[in-house]
Structure 1
Amino acid sequence: MCGICCVVALSSQHTICDYFSKDLHCRLRRRGPDSSQQLIKTVSEPSYECLFSGHVLHLRGLMTPQPLEDVNNNIFLWNGEIFNGVHVGDSENDTEVMFRHLALCSSEADILSLFSSLRGPWSFIYYQASGHSLWFGRDYFGRRSLLWQLSNVSDGAFCLTSVSVNSESRNQCQEVPASGIFKMDLRDCATTKSLSLTLFPWKYKCTEKNEEEIFIDVLDQVSKDLPNHITVVMNESKLCLSAPVIPLNRTISEASVEHVSSDSSKTSSVVSLETLQGYLAVEHKRKVVHQFIDVLDEAVKRRVLLLRRGEDEGTGQVQGVSPRKAHVAVLFSGGVDSMVIAALADRHVPLEEPIDLLNVAFMTKEQTKRTGTTKNCIRQEMKLDLHRGEENHKDLDAKMGDDLSCFDVPDRITGRAGLKELEALNPSRTWNFVEINVTLKELKEMRRRFINHLIYPLDTVLDDSIGCAIWFASRGEGYINKQGEMKPYKSPAKVVLTGIGADEQLAGYSRHRICFRKCGPEGLNKELEMELGRISSRNLGRDDRIIGDHGKEARFPFIDEDVVSFLNSLPISEKADLTLPRGVGEKLILRLGAKELGLEAASILPKRAVQFGSRIAKLESNNEKAYHTCSRLKLF
């Protein structure tokens, strides 16, 4: 995983460094702490200048500093993981492998064929010297962040970056749409002093729409938020990338329609394991559930095994903890998504290696007000403020008790229950349940210093709540219980698994029930198709920026191409049954899978969003709605 940036200057009024600030360099460096370097390319005829900046988080193969340049002056920046489609040897680095393959491409069609074959998350920037071309884009789901800053015509500058640029220009920074791959002819742009982009869109191998319809739809979608001086055109050859997943199955059985109309208003509110057991007693249902678990298991396996191990062991973070360090962490609430991911990770992570379960809790507004009665909470706040200084831990531990009850939010309670289920599932594993406790004071400070620019260009109250919760959770600084004593702990894991994508594909949100009641299974199908279509702009770019800020890599098993294709192949009735109560009907296939894995308590836990489970929602204002613009994210 890396921080990548390219600045193109088409005007001689400014130097290239005017557009590449010290702040931007520091933000990129946080994403890639293992190697940082930059390269400036100056071309006299036509006149333009490019700065390429690469910052590497080393996870696989040989350490490969970026940017890469070859003998033909081509330059490559890569932020991604190849899990399939192109062979990467155990000792190879995927950046080098991709650059080697790109050098063999002799046409636009070759480049598109290469990127169509990839399986895994990626964003990239590729300068093709022979044609003065700059290629860039994100994977089909947008699992890696890439932003573009589109300056005014008079400035003659263009910037691509993993994180937002300096605040003076932030109002022009947007996420690169995950609609395809873009190409910029720098020779043409330098001559005309204007910015024009050519698009090569994604397309299903078999689709009902004709190509003209697809091109019109995609161009409208990409162009709608761009300033007037930027033009986007479809490539003249009408070339497309092949989508890595199959289209959504919209089949609706007559039986399911009748079931909705007759039973939806009479559904029992009782949630029980017997309901799940009844489904599993049907041979067809059980077979589908096992197929789902198998494909999800493979997705988790790829994400926990493809990383370096071995050379840096023996560096336990806490006295008495296993000498092996954790390489894999899970954003962990104890809900069914994170429980299934943890249980599947347990199958593949070496047994002697701990797995970190990152559980975040925010001190509630009411507790912060009770200064006279919550002494333990206040002492805890003092301790957390000093958490950065390791030399303070022993003194503080001696002065205060271990009562952390002021952080017993819903996700902490379900997280502890989930830990017990996992320990019963595999008592030989070291499960580090990391209690990450956040005070209002620290929340405000870290948002101001780091989080606000990572959430940008998103700006709603919901983005603020989720972004802050994920930032603190993925930082991994908290406490673990050792022999009944709470000890400070910082997770060393560079890979963070997250359950994003389960709710979007399996009707996990409350809005899906509302849609189902109003529009039936047909309406729900459309809603789920829309959810997956917008996940790049609504979730994944933000989450990648947030988690990457700690020099860690977000990995998304539920957004694995094989997992999405499998779920897309099923009719909605196989994935969810919203005539059943909360805690069973939503994400039904996943709950059945959890039951089969032995996670009985987790299998019937109702969905609870992280902003409510961690108690960050309403912490600073009681009058906000999730879709409101968040004033706390406004810097200027």
Structure 2
Amino acid sequence: MCGICCVVSLTSSQRALHNHVYELLRHRGPDHSQDVTTNSLDPEYSCFFSAHVLHMRGSLTPQPLQDDRGNLFLWNGEVFGGLTVEPGENDTKVILGYLSACKSPSDVLSILGQVKGPWAIIYYQKEEHCIWFGRDFFGRRSLLWSWGLNESLFTLTSVSSRSLDPRSSVCLEVPAVGVYRVDLKSRSQRESLKVEVYPWGDLHSDFTWEGLPSSVSIVMNNSGLVLLSPTSPMNMSTTDVEKNSCRSSQPSLDDLKMLLASSGKQETIHRLVDVLGEAVHRRVQHLPHQCNPHQAKVAILFSGGIDSMILAVLADRYIPADQPIDLLNVAFKLQESKLNQGLGKKVRNKGHTIPDDIAMSKFDVPDRITGRAGLQELAALSPKRKWNFVEINVTQEELKELRVRNICHLVHPLDTVLDDSIGCAVWFAARGRGFLSEGTQARQHCSAAKVVLTGIGADEQLAGYSRHRVRFKTSGLQGLVKELAMELGRISSRNLGRDDRIIADHGKEARFPYLDEDVVSFLNTLPVWEKADLSLPRGLGEKLLLRLAAVELGLGPCAVLPKRAMQFGSRIAKLENSREKASEKCSRLTTS
């Protein structure tokens, strides 16, 4: 993980980076910072590069990394496949080595197209006077662009600041539709700045570039070059199949076991466990040493739900048994009026028994209750593992203070009520500052894990959201398939850039096993009815394949927990105006 930035001035004058943006970039990469400035008189321009490294792999490698020809490389990513990076090697050096040997744009695309894993790059080719930049196929790493309204300045950066004057620049997320190339030689005082696009396959004809100033023109590259998609195309088949049956509207673990026995899906389930297990394996191995060997190297955003439970079980397979795993569970303080509304009883009524010795408190939100139950399941499956269930409690006062000071800038340029709720919940969870309960005692704990696993991508691929049920009821399998294809196509702009900025603010790296290219390719080959059956009740039909895999892995009641969005499970949504719609602009993200 790194914070990377490039400021290009299309005049001889140099432009400095805003102090607040520089500070946010340093949060992302606390292990090494370095700035480099280049100048050119023919054509006339200057470039300021700033890179801040979070050391994750091989030897610590300062960035911007420069080769013998003066090319500069800024890399924010991880190579989990495609190109060979040995355990002791640094992937930044490996990729620059490949890029330095490139003699044409097609060579550059060939290298980037082979990388499996999350990335964002800025690559300056000195002799060609051009800058390449872009994000991976899913947009798992943040990259923003802002364009000076004076038509002589543009900036690429991992993170920006809401406090910057909107009259002087427009800041947007770089669309994750391909790789971009800016030829600085072609720009004169009378021309607009031309940005060439090299898309991931065929770019949809209805795609529009929104919010760009008139001084910028986005054009497809003249050679017709494209990047090959790193995943298989989605199976759009909608053949009618025999529906599964369930005995009641309140599904139980027995219902799921019965479906597992009669489904004939054992081979598919085993393949899912294998490919997802390998994705987790790649993301928890070869990690840097901790100063304290008793601290966890890996943490999981943990609600006790099916997505995070499966990540925990699979991580347990590949992390040495003597190393703890941090389970990060966030809760926002309930109002007094909510304490006596029987949250524990509500969960019990759904068939999930909660121990009687867990007393209700102001932080006993739904995700805290299911998280504790999930901890018991994990402890039963792997009793020798030290599971650190980190209870992260947030008051409304702390939320307000840190939203204004930190979180609103990280969410930017997104600005909806949903972005606010999820952004705040993820920020406090990833910070990892809470306490561990040990018997009747509790002690403070702050997770030092640099790797944070998150379950994003499971719902989008396996029909986990309530809107998928609505679409299925109104449009059948055909409508559901189209909805899932849209979900995966827009995940970069809805979730991933934001969550990368949020988690990286703590000097930690978000990793997304469900969005591993091999996992997505496998799920894309399956027809939709193999992945979900929305004719079955909640807690069973959505993400059915994953629930069956959970039973196969030995999990219990968590396998039939219905989907609960983080903003509701953590109860942050209850702290604000309940009449707000998720898609509305959020006034709380506006700083004074």
Q: Per the shorter chain, which TM-score range?
A: over 0.9
Counterparts of 1:151 and 1:369, CA distance in 2:
51
Paired position in structure 2 for 1:157: 153
Paired position in structure 1 for 2:301: 331
CA deviation profile, 1:276-313 (whole Å, cap 9, x unmatched) = 2222224731111111111000000000113223x623
Report % sequence identity.
Answer: 56
Q: How does 1:458-497 map to 2 (within 5 A)?
A: 458-497=414-453
Q: Which secondary structure state, in structure 2, belongs to the residue aligned with residue 606 of structure 1?
A: coil
User: Is the contact made by 2:170 and 2:211 (CA closer than 8 Å) also made in structure 1?
Assistant: no
| Shift in alpha-carbon separation, 1:135–1:267, aligned structure 2, 3 A | farther
Counterparts of 2:579 and 2:253, CA distance in 1:
38
TM superposition shift of 1:78: 0.2
TM superposition shift of 1:150: 1.3
Counterparts of 2:240 and 2:291, CA distance in 1:
58
User: Is the contact made by 1:360 and 1:436 (CA closer than 8 Å) also made in structure 2?
Assistant: yes
Paired position in structure 1 for 2:174: 176
Q: Which secondary structure state, in structure 1, belongs to the residue aligned with residue 459 of structure 2?
A: helix
Q: Which of 313, 316, 322 is matched with 2:292 structurally?
A: 313
| Shift in alpha-carbon separation, 1:593–1:483, aligned structure 2, 3 A | same
User: Is the contact made by 1:82 and 1:94 (CA closer than 8 Å) also made in structure 2?
Assistant: yes
Q: How does 1:603-618 map to 2 (within 5 A)?
A: 603-618=559-574
User: In the alignment, residue 9 of structure 1 is paired with which amino acid?
Assistant: S
Q: Which of 89, 104, 107 is matched with 1:107 structurally?
A: 104
Paired position in structure 2 for 1:357: 327
Counterparts of 1:224 and 1:490, CA distance in 2:
41
User: Is the contact made by 2:329 and 2:392 (CA closer than 8 Å) also made in structure 1?
Assistant: yes
TM superposition shift of 1:403: 7.8
Structure 2: unaligned runs, 5 residues or longer: 341-357
Establish whether residue 504 from structure 1 lines up as the match of residue 474 from structure 2: no
Paired position in structure 1 for 2:491: 535
Counterparts of 1:353 and 1:30, CA distance in 2:
26
Counterparts of 2:216 and 2:335, CA distance in 1:
46
Q: Which of 27, 48, 52 is matched with 1:51 structurally?
A: 48
User: Is the contact made by 1:3 and 1:162 (CA closer than 8 Å) also made in structure 2?
Assistant: yes
Counterparts of 1:487 and 1:513, CA distance in 2:
43
CA deviation profile, 1:356-378 (whole Å, cap 9, x unmatched) = 000000002346999xxxxxxxx
TM superposition shift of 1:476: 0.1
Q: How many residues align?
A: 573
Q: Which of 264, 270, 275 is matched with 1:290 structurally?
A: 270
Paired position in structure 1 for 2:250: 270
Counterparts of 1:196 and 1:241, CA distance in 2:
20
CA RMSD of aligned residues (A): 1.9
TM superposition shift of 1:69: 1.2
TM superposition shift of 1:484: 2.8
Establish whether residue 248 from structure 1 lines up as the match of residue 234 from structure 2: yes
| Shift in alpha-carbon separation, 1:283–1:462, aligned structure 2, 3 A | closer
CA deviation profile, 1:371-415 (whole Å, cap 9, x unmatched) = xxxxxxxxxxxxxxxxxxxxxxxxxxxxxxx98811000000000
Paired position in structure 2 for 1:588: 544
Establish whether residue 94 from structure 1 lines up as the match of residue 94 from structure 2: no
| Shift in alpha-carbon separation, 1:2–1:79, aligned structure 2, 3 A | same
User: Is the contact made by 2:339 and 2:361 (CA closer than 8 Å) also made in structure 1?
Assistant: no
Q: Which secondary structure state, in structure 2, belongs to the residue aligned with residue 130 of structure 1?
A: coil
TM superposition shift of 1:37: 0.7
Establish whether residue 406 from structure 1 lines up as the match of residue 362 from structure 2: yes
Q: Which secondary structure state, in structure 2, belongs to the residue aligned with residue 248 of structure 1?
A: coil
Q: How does 1:136-215 map to 2 (within 5 A)?
A: 136-152=133-149, 154-165=150-161, 167-170=163-166, 172-190=170-188, 192=190, 194-203=192-201, 214-215=202-203
Paired position in structure 1 for 2:77: 80
TM superposition shift of 1:130: 1.4
| Shift in alpha-carbon separation, 1:607–1:283, aligned structure 2, 3 A | closer
More helix per residue: 1 or 2? 1
| Shift in alpha-carbon separation, 1:50–1:404, aligned structure 2, 3 A | farther
Counterparts of 1:228 and 1:268, CA distance in 2:
59
User: Is the contact made by 1:66 and 1:77 (CA closer than 8 Å) also made in structure 2?
Assistant: yes
Q: If the length of structure 1 is used for normalisation, what is the TM-score?
A: 0.87
Q: Which secondary structure state, in structure 2, belongs to the residue aligned with residue 542 of structure 1?
A: helix
Counterparts of 2:302 and 2:521, CA distance in 1:
25
Structure 1: unaligned runs, 5 residues or longer: 204-213, 315-323, 371-401
User: Is the contact made by 1:189 and 1:196 (CA closer than 8 Å) also made in structure 2?
Assistant: yes
TM superposition shift of 1:71: 1.9
Counterparts of 1:113 and 1:297, CA distance in 2:
28
User: Is the contact made by 1:23 and 1:166 (CA closer than 8 Å) also made in structure 2?
Assistant: no
User: Is the contact made by 1:419 and 1:433 (CA closer than 8 Å) also made in structure 2?
Assistant: yes
Between 85-94 and 509-518, the greater mean CA deviation after superposition: 85-94
Counterparts of 1:105 and 1:506, CA distance in 2:
39
